[in-house]
Structure 1
Amino acid sequence: MAKITRPAAMRSLVGVMMSVIVLSACGNNEGTPAGSKNDKLTIKIMSSLQTEPPDMNSAFWTGLEERTKVHLDIDWVPINDYINKVNLVLASGSIPEVLTVTDTNLSSLVDAINKGSFWELSEFLGDFSKYPNLKNNVPESAWRLLRYNGKIYGLPRTRPQIGAAEHIRKDWLDKLGLPVPKTMDELLVTLKKVVESDPDGNGKRDTIGLMFDESYRAAFGGIDPEYTPDGGLYPKQLSTAYTNMVEWYRKAYADGLMSQEFAIMKDLQYSDMFGAGLAAFYRKNPWHQYGLEQAAKKVQPDAKVELIPYLTGPKGTTAVLSPGFYGALYIPKSVPKEKVEKILQFYNNTASDEITKYITYGIEGVHHKVENGVIKMTDQGKKEINNTTIEPFVLKLDPWSKTDSPIAPQEVNLRNREKVKPELEVGKIDPFSVINSSSWVTQWPKYDGEFTSMRTQAIIGKITMEQYKSYIDQLRAKKEFGQAYKEFAENYKALFGK
């Protein structure tokens, strides 16, 4: 059975014991020793869980072990609690052999790297001659933009450029004779009409229009750098674009489009609400379109979920492109060098065409079948392979892996590809998904809680926008942020050449 949690002390003890056992039993530097299960390399991993806990004794997971000759001991942590768990693990120092981190700019992670808690992997990877799949099948941009102070500390969780799109209940729009919105302002007008129409027919105004998502600052120019008077770079929270986004959300809240609990609502909660027919609009990976529509049809048989590639704002669009990865895998210094090499060989293997296809589709005849050259997932495949399955791996790049759904008919996937393709023409990479500042990591946590509170108060109308802007001006003027502005500017230039 899959584990959800394990006491830190026990994890540490077991990790040491397993390291001793594995290192004494395995002499193959390729990390794929043959033989019985006791001879296989065991890797202890902590990773995020977006579904029900997987059965690690299922055909999928045992099949992966047979193909890689590696036994995965995974501590699955529910996604809503994952960042908190990562923070706790980093604070305790009892770090699993591979730590999955979804936010590579997480202050606790950067602090741990600065303290030398993780291996600098450049010395192992070298020119990648020992790891051809990691070199050839992972986007060059991922290796370039994931660097911290010019060095590689994490293995990128490979992702395509198109990673998100807007989902809207098209059947509700059709019922009201409304066109699909194309701009941020049109979205607010459209959603106001939808939520006021009681689309679920329960006689209550309880439909949610949208959730808070700070990626929408891109539509207000938030993807472009904003420099300080002396040439530094303001972090995203202190940018004019971010403030303008807050003002947009203030209007949305005043129009009754947001949940009163939006500030504490988790993505998984909102996903469930959308699928249950309680929400009208949702920003998510395009591959969720079919699943969300099918879920909504259980409540309203005529439900139709339409993809909008992006919305246009006053200074940009909502098309934010991935830098080639989403999160990364980190190996702590507690892992011996010999085992680090074996772990890297394992991930070089998962980035191969063969293993990536297996992790995506499983076993033919069990998890999928091929009809007229089209892969169709079986019921068992739909159960055992999902968006949790890919979390702890480095995979070969598939430009449509966040668009194609393994449970959707091929014609749906092909149609969705065409719908989101325009993102590639207008989209930009969010620099703050990759640039870092050690000074910011040290200073910002002192103000983050207060900032979040002020942002929420501005959105719900408890304080005026003038008060919020005055607060941001005060933060901008903090002397302790000066070094961080400089570091952000230097890191931005180093990574983006501007």
Structure 2
Amino acid sequence: MGRIIRSASVCALAGVIVSTGMMSACSTQDGAAAPGAKKEKLNIKMMSSLQTEPPDMNSAFWTGLEERTNVHLDIDWVPINDYINKVNLVLASGNIPEVLTVTDTNLSSLIDAINKGSFWDLGELLGDFSKYPNLKNNVPESAWRLLRYNGKTFGLPRTRPQITASEHIRRDWLDKLGLPVPKTMDELLVTLKKVVDSDPDGNGKRDTVGLMFDESYRTAFGGFDPENTPDGGMYPKQLTNAYTSMVEWYRKAYADGLMSQEFAIMKDLQYSDMFGAGLAAFYRKNPWHQYGLEQSAKKVQPDAKTEIIPYLTGPNGTTAVLSPGFFGGLYIPKSVPKDKVEKILQYYNVIASDEITKYITYGKEGVHHTVDNGVIKMTDQGKKEINNTTIEPFVLKLDPWSKTDSPIAPQEVNLKNREKVKPELDVGKIDPFSVINSPSWVTQWPKYEGEFTSMRTQVIIGKITMEQYKSYIDQLKAKKEFAVAYKEFGDNYKALFGK
């Protein structure tokens, strides 16, 4: 079946892009190459997020991808901690690369640019997907449906499985103290306090961090269920009772000494480094990081063990968050001619094939991985050249375990982790605010966002009372300029979720 997809997609691409010839030859059913001279490569200028050290674009992996697609990627890699700021700057300047990776598809600057007509309506070009079978068949239907803005498709979804995150805890520290793995949000605070107070790294200081701020935890307080206004609109997440309950939970965590004093400005990558260095006890991240985090911690404490907790239970839900089928999108500005847009779409149709998705995931056999009794094992070169940065600028064929299986972990570890996270499918929910939007909100909220973030920080660290914070939220809810946004959120929620 993979061979048929390969032949169909590659041939369609070669047929559409006659002038540039994205493929040097069209694969036939028996694997022989069709006659024809090698065509000029298509060059695509992109900007994408960087999760690791900058990749060597002349490495065997990237040159191999170029050979397989006859497309040269000129990528401006931007560190993930600064990525949103760079996207904002690029959108403000109007000097947008031919493909822009956006990690937050509800970013106000992106919505503003779409409203101003800066990006192509890709839905018109994709049509019924007859020219793009892999984008239709290998990308979740929910991704195409939930990425729409005002009923139109402006971005290509960066395909993701339903399970994309879980909780990670230092199991060796729990075992040392005779503590069970926590199952609820309240138990987590009690457990982490005992761990942090015990000086688990043995340096004689109380400097172990328990947890970082993550607003997705509002789902444990009912935050993924809509809270409606009296007239049938929908409050944005920041103004919901569930969000306020989550803030109160973090206030207790901070008072117990479980959070860094710099939590409000701490970036995810910083916390990841802390966990790997044995300076943090608990971390919410993709399940496939479990093995890597454990190996990093072992360099500091040889007995380190990282345990996956699929989810924690809160008063009105769990921490299990399901992906809508994508995380972020790829956007093509109107400055790109229509004929090149179509070539770019054909390129992504090939990327979403079984063959190329496997290559991007595992590289070349014998170079980046070996196969032993059907089990893929990454080589040292593969581990170096293929990582979580590698998939950032692509639309891949859906793999339900792509955020659970680690390319550097033994197969038995990956299979065990799959079983660990499966329960998320039964209780998890999609964050509606990862997909719904309001044109009015993105113009009004920036006026108050800085003040809101400051008030949230102040109440968590105890500078103001919960009563003062709640009074502030009530004042925000009553602002007349938000009324239109409430209606737009409500209408958009009903349009996307059908209820």
Q: TM-score range by the shorter chain?
A: over 0.9
* Cα distance between partner residues in 1 of 2:19 and 2:186: 60
> Could you report, residue by residue, the CA deviation over 1:142-191 in whole angstroms, capped at 9, with x for unpaired residues?
00000000000000000000000000000000000000000000000000
* Cα distance between partner residues in 2 of 1:67 and 1:251: 54
Q: Please state how far the C-alpha of 1:27 moved relative to its aligned partner.
A: 3.8
Partner of 2:3: none
Describe the SS at the equivalent of 1:72.
strand
Partner of 1:355: 356
1:202-213 paired onto structure 2 within 5 Å: 202-213=203-214
- AA of the residue aligned to 1:338: D
Partner of 2:265: 264
1:362-381 paired onto structure 2 within 5 Å: 362-381=363-382
CA RMSD of aligned residues (A): 1.1
When the two structures are superposed, what TM-score results if normalisation uses the length of structure 1? 0.94
> Could you report, residue by residue, the CA deviation over 1:342-384 in whole angstroms, capped at 9, with x for unpaired residues?
0000000000000000000000000000011100000000000
> Could you report, residue by residue, the CA deviation over 1:54-89 in whole angstroms, capped at 9, with x for unpaired residues?
000000000000001100000000000000000000
Describe the SS at the equivalent of 2:447.
helix
Q: Please state how far the C-alpha of 1:30 moved relative to its aligned partner.
A: 7.1
* Cα distance between partner residues in 2 of 1:45 and 1:348: 17
* Cα distance between partner residues in 2 of 1:107 and 1:203: 46
Describe the SS at the equivalent of 2:261.
coil
Describe the SS at the equivalent of 1:39.
coil
* Cα distance between partner residues in 1 of 2:118 and 2:172: 51
- AA of the residue aligned to 2:475: Q
When the two structures are superposed, what TM-score results if normalisation uses the length of structure 2? 0.94
Q: Please state how far the C-alpha of 1:105 moved relative to its aligned partner.
A: 0.3
Which runs of at least 4 in structure 1 moved beyond 3 Å after TM superposition? Answer: 26-38
Rate the CA distance shift 1:464–1:55 in 2: closer, same or farther, 3 A: same
- AA of the residue aligned to 1:468: Y
Whether 1:461 aligns to 2:462 is: yes
Contact 1:436 1:491 in 2 (8 A): yes
Contact 1:30 1:341 in 2 (8 A): no
Rate the CA distance shift 1:209–1:257 in 2: closer, same or farther, 3 A: same
Describe the SS at the equivalent of 1:198.
coil
1:217-228 paired onto structure 2 within 5 Å: 217-228=218-229
Q: Please state how far the C-alpha of 1:288 moved relative to its aligned partner.
A: 0.1
- AA of the residue aligned to 1:110: I
- AA of the residue aligned to 1:452: T
1:379-418 paired onto structure 2 within 5 Å: 379-418=380-419
* Cα distance between partner residues in 2 of 1:313 and 1:33: 56
Aligned length: 473
Partner of 2:315: 314
Describe the SS at the equivalent of 1:83.
helix
> Could you report, residue by residue, the CA deviation over 1:291-325 in whole angstroms, capped at 9, with x for unpaired residues?
00000000000000000000000000000100000
1:162-201 paired onto structure 2 within 5 Å: 162-201=163-202
Q: Please state how far the C-alpha of 1:39 moved relative to its aligned partner.
A: 1.3
- AA of the residue aligned to 2:327: Y
Whether 1:99 aligns to 2:100 is: yes
> Could you report, residue by residue, the CA deviation over 1:232-287 in whole angstroms, capped at 9, with x for unpaired residues?
10000000000000000000000000000000000000000000000000000000
- Unmatched segments (≥5 aa) in structure 1: 1-25
- Unmatched segments (≥5 aa) in structure 2: 1-16, 26-35
- AA of the residue aligned to 2:99: V
Q: Please state how far the C-alpha of 1:28 moved relative to its aligned partner.
A: 3.9
* Cα distance between partner residues in 2 of 1:395 and 1:36: 29
Partner of 2:329: 328
Q: Please state how far the C-alpha of 1:36 moved relative to its aligned partner.
A: 9.0
* Cα distance between partner residues in 2 of 1:318 and 1:218: 6
Partner of 2:245: 244
Partner of 2:13: none
Whether 1:82 aligns to 2:83 is: yes
Describe the SS at the equivalent of 1:168.
strand
Contact 1:32 1:41 in 2 (8 A): no
Describe the SS at the equivalent of 2:249.
helix
> Could you report, residue by residue, the CA deviation over 1:205-251 in whole angstroms, capped at 9, with x for unpaired residues?
00000000000000000000000011110000000000000000000
* Cα distance between partner residues in 2 of 1:425 and 1:109: 33
Contact 1:30 1:342 in 2 (8 A): no
> Could you report, residue by residue, the CA deviation over 1:105-141 in whole angstroms, capped at 9, with x for unpaired residues?
0000000000000000011000000000000000000
Q: Please state how far the C-alpha of 1:32 moved relative to its aligned partner.
A: 3.7
Contact 1:455 1:468 in 2 (8 A): yes
Contact 1:32 1:346 in 2 (8 A): no
Partner of 2:427: 426
1:269-280 paired onto structure 2 within 5 Å: 269-280=270-281
Q: Please state how far the C-alpha of 1:37 moved relative to its aligned partner.
A: 8.9
Whether 1:113 aligns to 2:114 is: yes
* Cα distance between partner residues in 2 of 1:161 and 1:28: 39
Describe the SS at the equivalent of 1:99.
strand
Rate the CA distance shift 1:38–1:192 in 2: closer, same or farther, 3 A: same
Partner of 2:488: 487
Describe the SS at the equivalent of 1:63.
helix
Partner of 1:22: none
